[in-house]
């Protein structure tokens, strides 16, 4: 560890570092990040790009009295290092270790937990208003990337900042502008910021003009005041659109986001301002590590890698569910020109980059705007197109109202392809896809499917694109399960697939948890039991005919799902049995009413009791 970084053990220790050594400290922090993230994996490029911004904040502010909210939070590693947590970085994103996002329970300096995009300005405004109501004078800062600024919630918050302008109360927004979210940014805001980048620094120009005018004897100060009040002042000439200033937010930029001294000057000036201020800092994602600078998307979130070459230590050997989805959609779109694909700033993560390559005019990246994506898809469907919205499960949550009102009420044929459904591992609580069954299965007109393995996916997708109504398919992160490939019955609406007949107990497996359920069946057979096994396939509509057959045959019915039990498939089966006056013993296994922390998926399954050994134990305990 570097000699300067070694001196930082508690919050505010950075203030003891000599200002002339700040660039050296920045190098040491980048070296520390590379050494640690190359071993644990994590969000690298975003943190390398935010080193100087975070240092400047810690130099200008005092923690935990002052407050910083990091949008998404995947760029908060440097903040953690500077607040006394650097010795825990060997445990980053591991079970019981350091979280990869800000976490209130982890440190007083993490004032607001984040993990999803575009929330920072809203949260910071809440903190600032609470500060003012309590008559305190601490500084509140929101750090937001230009990618997160494409999310609608950010504009709702910007609009509401008039609260502070009216009361002449301060809040600082730092726009960390690197032209990237996970992938390259798209849309009107991206073009607006590109235009701003091409202009000479407005703040520098304005200061120079005002300074020169003020020095003119007699008339200079009067002219400067007049210019400030004029609607056609120099601001209108040099900032296209004046978006921020017209919303009552003083714009300060452009600032070199890798010049620590320029950043310190900007933050200290912003602290003295009455009303909200936006500092527009230009940074480079992956700064200081050539591999990440060349390919920031690859190093946005990465597993353990070789620092010298940048290559992953664990080589990909199997296709992922995302790969199968991507290949299948490209193949289906070849013969169906009405298929269009939509992503919310995740073309690579969702597998739609290949669709874009083959069908660029039928591909739409709407930015970080899931609500808009859903209703945009509904509009396409209303005109006879077959829209496919590929989205992570935890991100689709933001479009719930639009799914219900704009898609399902109108019975529009939108196909939701829900990636990262179920447990996702190291990203932790904010990214687990364990609520989608609960928030989709109760909506009228919605069809919800889950394939047991990679082979089943293409058939489900073909079925979905021929279905005349809202339909969703959920599938997990990671490599496909290749077992049970010999079982591949045709996909029929609301029909499950019987894998094994049995006698003592039957297991109803939802989606990819089939891998654990199949192992559990083998273990039970070895112990002398005779279990049945069913691939649920359709969560909604349920296969009620099969459920009646199972209820007549098996004394014990077991449901297994990688979803919250509340509102999950198990509760749906329970309600069916109760309604129809069946008295079978029902054992529902899933996530039992808690937020799942970061760990490996295997560890998370074991904790939830849905790994093979736990399933076997639960069944034997119940039978005995």
Question: What is the pLDDT at residue 171?
Answer: 96
Is residue 391 within 8 Å of residue 344, measured between CB atoms?
yes
Per-residue pLDDT at 624: 87
Confidence band, pLDDT 50/70/90 cuts, at residue 109: very high
3-state SS, residue 42 = strand
pLDDT of residue 6 exceeding 90:
yes
| 147 known ligand binder | yes
The answer to whether the annotation marks 116 as part of a ligand binding site is yes
* Per-residue pLDDT reduced to its tens digit, 25-42: 999 999 999 999 999 999
439-469 pLDDT per residue, tens = 999 999 999 999 999 999 999 999 999 999 9
* CB atoms inside a 10 Å sphere around CB 215: 10
Taking all residues of the chain, what is their mean pLDDT, rounded to a whole number?
92
Strand runs labelled E in 25-155: 67-70, 140-145
Q: Residues 52, 370, 562, 564: which is the catalytic one? A: 370
Which residue pairs from 500-503 have beta carbons closer than 8 angstroms and sit at least 24 positions apart in sequence?
500/531, 500/532, 500/533, 501/532, 502/530, 502/531, 502/532, 502/533, 502/554, 503/530, 503/532, 503/553, 503/554
Average pLDDT over residues 317-343: 96
CB 302 within 8 A of CB 62: no
- In the set 67, 93, 356, 398, the catalytic residue is 398
Report the CATH fold assignment for 497-623: Rossmann fold (3.40.50)
230 belongs to an annotated ligand binding site: no
Q: Please determine, for residue 231, whether its predicted confidence score (pLDDT) is greater than 60.
A: no
User: Per-residue pLDDT tens for 340-365?
Assistant: 999 999 999 999 999 999 999 999 99
Determine whether domain 321-474 maps to CATH 3.40.50.970: yes
131, 285, 477, 605: the active-site residue: 285
Q: Give the strand order in the sheet containing 505-509.
A: 497-500, 531-535, 505-509, 556-564, 585-591
Which class for 255: exposed (0-12), middle (13-18), buried (19 or more C-beta within 10 A)?
buried
- 370 in a labelled binding site: yes
Counting every residue written for the chain, the total comes to: 624
Q: How far apart are CA 437 and CA 563, in angstroms?
A: 7
Residue 146, annotated as binding a ligand: yes
Answer whether residue 206 shows pLDDT above 70: no
| 107 known ligand binder | no
Give domain limits for the chain.
Answer: 5-217+237-303, 321-474, 497-623
Give the model's pLDDT for residue 253. 80
Residue 117 assigned to a binding site: yes
Quick: pLDDT tens for 497-513.
Answer: 999 999 999 999 999 99
Active-site residue, 285 included: yes
Task: Write down the CATH superfamily of domain 5-217+237-303.
Answer: Thiamin diphosphate (ThDP)-binding fold, Pyr/PP domains (3.40.50.970)
The answer to whether 5-217+237-303 and 321-474 have equal CATH topology is yes
- Whether 398 is catalytic: yes
What's the pLDDT score for residue 192? 65
The pLDDT tens digits for 152-172 are 899 999 999 988 888 889 999
Lowest mean pLDDT among 42-56, 196-210, 245-259, 343-357: 196-210
Q: Is 178 annotated in some ligand binding site?
A: yes
CB atoms within 10 A of CB 536: 24
**How does pLDDT run across 425-442, given as a tens digit for each residue?**
999 999 999 999 999 999
């Amino acid at each position: 560890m570097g000699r300067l970084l070694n001196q930082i053990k508690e919050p505010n220790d950075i203030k003891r570092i000599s200002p002339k050594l700040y660039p050296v400290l920045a190098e040491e922090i980048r070296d520390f990040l590379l050494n640690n993230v190359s071993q644990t994996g994590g969000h690298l490029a975003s943190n390398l790009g935010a080193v100087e911004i975070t240092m400047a904040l810690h130099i200008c502010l005092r923690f935990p009295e002052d407050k910083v909210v990091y949008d998404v939070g995947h760029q908060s590693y440097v903040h953690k290092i500077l607040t006394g947590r650097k010795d825990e970085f060997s445990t980053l994103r591991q079970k019981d270790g350091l979280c990869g996002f800000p976490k209130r329970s982890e440190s007083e300096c993490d004032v607001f937990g984040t993990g999803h995009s575009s929330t920072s300005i809203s949260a910071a405004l809440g903190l600032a208003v609470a500060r003012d109501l309590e008559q305190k004078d601490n500084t509140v800062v929101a750090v937001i990337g230009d990618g997160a600024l494409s999310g609608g919630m950010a504009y709702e918050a910007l609009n509401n900042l008039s609260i502070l302008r009216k009361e002449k109360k301060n809040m600082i927004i730092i726009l960390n502008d690197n032209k990237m979210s996970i992938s390259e940014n798209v849309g009107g805001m991206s073009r607006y910021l590109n235009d701003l980048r091409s202009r000479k620094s407005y703040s520098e120009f304005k200061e120079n003009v005002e300074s020169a005018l003020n020095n003119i004897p007699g008339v200079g100060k009067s002219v400067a005041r007049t210019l400030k009040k004029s609607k056609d002042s120099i601001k209108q000439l040099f900032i296209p659109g004046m978006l921020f200033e017209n919303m009552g937010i003083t714009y300060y930029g452009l600032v070199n986001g890798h010049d620590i001294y320029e950043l310190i000057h900007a933050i200290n000036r912003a602290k003295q301002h009455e009303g909200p201020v936006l500092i527009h800092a230009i940074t480079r994602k992956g700064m200081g590590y050539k591999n990440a600078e060349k390919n920031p998307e690859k190093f946005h979130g990465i597993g353990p890698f070789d620092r010298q070459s940048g290559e992953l230590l664990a080589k990909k050997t199997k296709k992922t569910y995302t790969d199968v989805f991507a290949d299948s959609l490209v193949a289906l779109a070849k013969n169906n020109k009405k298929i269009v694909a939509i992503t919310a700033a995740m073309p690579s993560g969702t597998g739609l980059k290949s669709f874009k390559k083959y069908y660029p005019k039928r591909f739409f990246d709407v930015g970080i705007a899931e609500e808009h994506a859903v209703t945009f898809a509904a509009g396409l469907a209303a005109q006879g197109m077959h829209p496919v919205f590929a989205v992570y499960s935890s991100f689709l949550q933001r479009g719930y109202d639009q799914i219900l009102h704009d898609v399902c009420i109108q019975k529009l044929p939108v196909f939701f392809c829900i990636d990262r459904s179920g447990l996702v591992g190291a990203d932790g609580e904010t990214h687990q896809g364990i609520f989608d069954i609960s928030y989709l299965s109760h909506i009228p007109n919605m069809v919800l499917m889950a394939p047991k393995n990679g082979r089943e996916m293409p058939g489900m997708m073909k079925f979905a694109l021929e279905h005349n109504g809202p339909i969703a398919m959920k599938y997990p992160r990671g490599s496909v399960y290749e077992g049970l490939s010999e079982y591949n019955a045709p996909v029929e609406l609301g029909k499950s697939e019987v894998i094994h007949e049995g006698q003592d107990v039957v297991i109803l497996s939802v989606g990819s948890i089939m891998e654990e359920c199949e192992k559990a069946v083998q273990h039970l057979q070895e112990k002398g039991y005779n279990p049945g096994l069913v691939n649920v396939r359709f969560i909604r509509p349920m296969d009620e005919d099969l459920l009646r057959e199972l209820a007549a045959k098996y004394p014990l019915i077991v449901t297994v799902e990688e979803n919250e039990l509340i509102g999950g498939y198990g509760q749906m089966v329970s309600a069916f049995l109760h309604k129809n006056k069946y008295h079978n013993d029902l054992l529902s296994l899933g996530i039992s009413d808690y937020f799942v922390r970061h760990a490996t998926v295997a560890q998370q399954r074991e904790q939830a009791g849905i790994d093979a050994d736990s399933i076997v134990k639960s069944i034997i305990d119940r039978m005995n």
